[in-house]
Structure 1
Amino acid sequence: MSDTMDARATLDRLWKPGCDFLGSKVAILGGAMSWVSERNLVSAISNAGGFGVIACGAMSPERLEEEIVATQALTQCPFGVNLITMHPQLDALVDVCLAHNVTHIVLAGGVPTGATIRKIRDGGARVIGFAPALALGKRLVKMGIEALVIEGSEAGGHVGPVSLNVLAQEILPFIRDVPVFVAGGLGRGDAILSYLEQGAAGAQLGTLFAASTESIAHENFKKAFMRANARDAVTSVQLDEQFPVIPVRGLSNEGSRRFLKHQAATLQKFQNGDLDKEAAQLEIEHFWAGALRRAVIEGNVDDGSVMAGQSVGMVKEIRPVAEIISTLVDQAVEALERREARIHTPA
Structure 2
Amino acid sequence: MTTAKLASLMARGTEFLGCETAILCGAMSWVSERHLVSAISNAGGFGVIACGAMTPELLDAEIAATKALTAKPFGVNLITMHPQLFDLIAVCARHDVSHVVLAGGLPPKGSIEAIKANGAKLICFAPALALAKKLVRSGVDALVVEGMEAGGHIGPVATSVLAQEILPEMAEQVPVFVAGGIGRGEAIAAYLEMGAAGVQLGTRFACASESIAHPAFKKAFFRASARDAIASVQIDPRLPVIPVRSLKNAGMENFTAKQREVANLLDQGAVDMMEAQLQIEHFWAGALRRAVIDGDVEGGSLMAGQSVGMVTKEEPVADIIAELMVQAATALERRAA
* Same fold, judged at TM 0.5 (above): yes
Which among 243, 258, 261 is matched to residue 247 of structure 1?
Answer: 243
Which among 311, 317, 323 is matched to residue 313 of structure 2?
Answer: 317
> Could you say what secondary structure the match of 1:172 adopts?
helix
CA contact (8 A) 1:128 1:146 kept: yes
CA contact (8 A) 1:188 1:328 kept: yes
Matched, 1:46 2:41: yes
- Structure 1: how far apart are the matches of 2:82 and 2:257? 30
Which among 171, 176, 193 is matched to residue 180 of structure 1?
Answer: 176
Which among 328, 331, 335 is matched to residue 335 of structure 1?
Answer: 331
Question: What is residue 288 of structure 2 aligned with on the other side?
Answer: 292
Question: What is residue 94 of structure 2 aligned with on the other side?
Answer: 99
> Could you say what secondary structure the match of 2:169 adopts?
coil
In structure 2, relative to structure 1, the CA distance for the partners of 1:21 and 1:243 (3 Å cut) is closer
Task: Give the superposition deviation at 1:101.
Answer: 1.2
Note the 1:1-347 alignment, pairs <5 A: 6-113=1-108, 115-175=110-170, 176-260=172-256, 276=268, 285=280, 288=284, 290-341=286-337
AA paired with 1:340? Answer: A
Task: Give the superposition deviation at 1:258.
Answer: 4.3
In structure 2, relative to structure 1, the CA distance for the partners of 1:25 and 1:111 (3 Å cut) is same
Task: Give the superposition deviation at 1:259.
Answer: 3.9
Task: Give the superposition deviation at 1:340.
Answer: 2.5
Aligned-residue RMSD, C-alpha = 2.2
CA contact (8 A) 1:148 1:179 kept: yes
Task: Give the superposition deviation at 1:244.
Answer: 4.2
In structure 2, relative to structure 1, the CA distance for the partners of 1:239 and 1:95 (3 Å cut) is closer
In structure 2, relative to structure 1, the CA distance for the partners of 1:280 and 1:77 (3 Å cut) is closer
- Structure 1: how far apart are the matches of 2:239 and 2:111? 31
Cα deviation 1:221-257 (Å, max 9, x = unaligned): 1110000000000010123434444300000012223
Question: What is residue 3 of structure 1 aligned with on the other side?
Answer: none
> Could you say what secondary structure the match of 2:302 adopts?
coil
Task: Give the superposition deviation at 1:91.
Answer: 1.2
> Could you say what secondary structure the match of 2:21 adopts?
coil
CA contact (8 A) 2:36 2:47 kept: yes
In structure 2, relative to structure 1, the CA distance for the partners of 1:278 and 1:162 (3 Å cut) is farther
- With 166-175 and 252-261 compared, the bigger mean Cα shift is at 252-261
AA paired with 1:304? Answer: G
- Structure 1: how far apart are the matches of 2:20 and 2:268? 55
**What is the identity percentage for the equivalent residue pairs of Structure 1 and Structure 2?**
62
**Structure 1 gap segments, 5+ residues each:** 1-5, 342-347
In structure 2, relative to structure 1, the CA distance for the partners of 1:170 and 1:302 (3 Å cut) is same
> Could you say what secondary structure the match of 2:76 adopts?
strand
Cα deviation 1:273-293 (Å, max 9, x = unaligned): 9x7375799599476561110
**Structure 2 gap segments, 5+ residues each:** none
CA contact (8 A) 2:24 2:200 kept: yes
In structure 2, relative to structure 1, the CA distance for the partners of 1:87 and 1:166 (3 Å cut) is same
In structure 2, relative to structure 1, the CA distance for the partners of 1:220 and 1:118 (3 Å cut) is same
AA paired with 1:241? Answer: P
Cα deviation 1:32-66 (Å, max 9, x = unaligned): 01100000000000000000000011111111110
- Structure 2: how far apart are the matches of 1:340 and 1:93? 46
- Structure 1: how far apart are the matches of 2:115 and 2:322? 32
